[in-house]
């Protein structure tokens, strides 16, 4: 189903608000034609989907790496500001738990 509509748009070619003819192919715009200068923009739905899906996939696949790099940079900046106990305390607790568990297993033998 093709439908044509006339409306006022800013023409990218002549830089003025002029009457344009929009041609719809189903629910999608097929083309836009400036009625003053005749410049025409055609839309190829399949090509647009192909280009945008490639870019979308590239963006998704590059995000984990970008986030990891951002975290590394943030940690390097924040590391001097982190209290020393925040880093050493979990290690001490883990060491104490290990010692308690080791003593319990030795006592059972």
* pLDDT, tens digit, 9 for 90 and up, residues 17-69: 999 999 988 888 889 999 999 999 887 777 777 777 777 777 777 777 777 78
**Encoding tokens for residue 101?**
């568990």
Cβ partners under 8 Å of residue 24, min gap 6: 2, 3, 4, 5, 30
**Encoding tokens for residue 65?**
């790496």
Q: Where are the alpha helices (DSSP H) in 1-109?
A: 45-78, 84-108
**What pLDDT does 22 receive?**
93
pLDDT, mean over the chain: 83
Residues 30 and 24 sit within 8 Å (Cβ to Cβ): yes
3-state SS assignment for residue 11: coil
- Quickly state the pLDDT bin for 109 (edges 50, 70, 90): low
Distance, CA of 80 to CA of 69 (rounded, Å): 18
Q: Enter the pTM of the model.
A: 0.43
């Amino acid at each position: 189903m093709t439908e044509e509509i006339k409306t006022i748009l800013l023409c990218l070619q002549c830089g003025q608000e002029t009457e344009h003819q929009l041609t719809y192919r189903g629910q999608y715009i097929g083309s836009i034609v400036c009625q003053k200068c005749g410049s025409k923009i055609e839309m190829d739905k399949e090509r647009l989907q192909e280009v945008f899906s490639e870019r979308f996939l590239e963006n998704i696949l590059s995000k984990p790496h970008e986030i990891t790099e951002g975290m590394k940079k943030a940690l390097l900046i924040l590391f001097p500001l982190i209290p020393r106990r925040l880093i050493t305390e979990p290690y001490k607790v883990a060491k104490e738990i290990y010692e308690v568990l080791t003593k319990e297993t030795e006592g059972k033998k």
